[in-house]
Amino acid sequence: MNSEHTSLQLPHGRLSLPTFLPDATLGVVRSVDSADLEQCGIQAVVMNTFHLMQRPGSSTVTALGGLHKMCGWQRPIITDSGGFQAYSLIRQNARYGSLTNRGITFQPDSSARKFHLTPEKSIQLQLSYDADVVICLDDCTHVDESLAVQQESVNRTLQWARRCKQEFQRVLQQKKLQRDRQPLLFAVIQGGGSRELRQRCAGELLEIGFDGFGYGGWPLDGERKLLADIIAYTRELVPPAFPMHALGIGHPANVLECARMGYGLFDSAMPTRDARHGRLYAFTTEPAAPADNWSEPWFTYVYVNDDKSIKNAAPVSRFCDCLCCSRYSVAYLHHLFKINDSLFLRLATIHNLRFMTQLTEGLKVDQDERQGTQPVGPAR
């Protein structure tokens, strides 16, 4: 990683990279509050345009003064455009809506209303939410889809990125925000598993001009293995000075691998979802040491629901300094899990999030040490 983008200055603060952002899809990381997130060392969260426009609704968010005020969270917020959710909803079941060059129309089962999301609308919503990083609406695909589908996705993603940039500039001019209050605009690089399409998409997006980029498309193959080759290749297409967000990547091993490729931002619902299901992450090695020195396997799972946990008086991890590990045992967590107490959800979520921040802090030590000896770019 290059020192030029080891940090990212945003209106609500500076992110030191790499960093993991939990998904606060509907304006909350389930079971924990903003003070808990700060305690875990979380620097920023990802919220979701697609979901927030349905609940509580964009006019409510705006009336409450934006997402920071609504959620009592003063650190940066990245809003995703809604493209990925539209993909999940529509590509997998056409009865929920349609996707054309104009935009996306959808009607989830839970709603009596039809929603329209265009590139322009997505930008307007994200800016009205007062996001720190705004992401262009894109047309997401799975790597297994045909080349024709990937081509169409790249064409649409490029066309939408141009419209997003135009709208972004128009609204910013209207708002007359001072330079340090202006959010950044990221575009998403699509192209499935095709190097040619990834290259074309990255090249044209760089020409249009954005502050950063995301790796677009489902990042795992059919066997849930990381698409490491194409993800690394896509990072190489973008000059190291631009930050890159590995959208939807949050498995600890995948975060480590992609950070070494030069990705700086990660978000995923996986660590918090795993926590709620009693699947906790634990380092087997001292995380404060440079990640280069971690011995394999450097982390393991603690399954709270296992019989092994019933009388386990130890904390989840002896390397963790979170609220859960500093006060409570695995056995107590097991008990809370069995009696369905909401405290379990909070403690487990706090622990897995602290694990993720310890992971990215370890990767920073890695980087700093390397930069001390020689300047390096992303792994090539």
> Rounded distance, CA 250 to CA 214, Å?
14
Given the complex with Zn ion, which of 84 and 281 has the nearer CB atom?
A: 281
Q: Smallest distance, Å, CB 327 to Zn ion?
A: 10
Interactions with Zn ion, residue window 6-25 (CB under 5 A): none
The footprint of Zn ion on residues 301-320 (CB under 5 A) is 320
Residue 346 interacts with Zn ion (CB under 5 A): yes or no: no
Q: At its nearest, how many Å lie between Zn ion and the CB of residue 323?
A: 8
Q: Is 325 a residue that touches Zn ion (CB under 5 A)?
A: yes
**Nearer CB in complex with Zn ion: 45/322:** 322
**Is there binding between residue 324 and Zn ion (CB under 5 A)?**
yes
Per-residue b or e along 2-16, where b marks 16 or more CB atoms closer than 10 Å to that residue's CB: beebbebebbbeebe
Q: How many binding residues for Zn ion (CB under 5 A)?
A: 5
Site for Zn ion in 74-103 (CB under 5 A): none
> What mask, x for binding Zn ion by CB under 5 A, covers residues 348 to 367?
---x----------------
In the bound state with Zn ion, the residue whose beta carbon lies nearer, of 279 and 370, is 279
336, 350 contact by CB (below 8 A): no
- Do residues 311 and 320 make contact, with C-beta atoms less than 8 angstroms apart? no
Please report whether residue 330 would count as binding Zn ion according to CB under 5 A. no
**Can residue 282 be called a binding residue for Zn ion (CB under 5 A)?**
no
Parallel/antiparallel/unpaired status of strands 104-106 and 97-99: antiparallel
Catalytic residues: 80, 267
For 265, counting Cβ atoms within 10 Å of its Cβ (0-12 exposed, 13-18 middle, 19+ buried), the class is buried
Nearer to Zn ion, 249 or 322 (CB): 322
Question: Any idea of the CA torsion for 5, 184, 208, 165, to the nearest 10 degrees?
Answer: 170
Cα–Cα distance for residue pair 351/335, rounded to 1 Å: 17
Q: Which residues pair with 202 in a beta bridge?
A: none
The footprint of Zn ion (CB under 5 A) covers: 320, 322, 324-325, 351
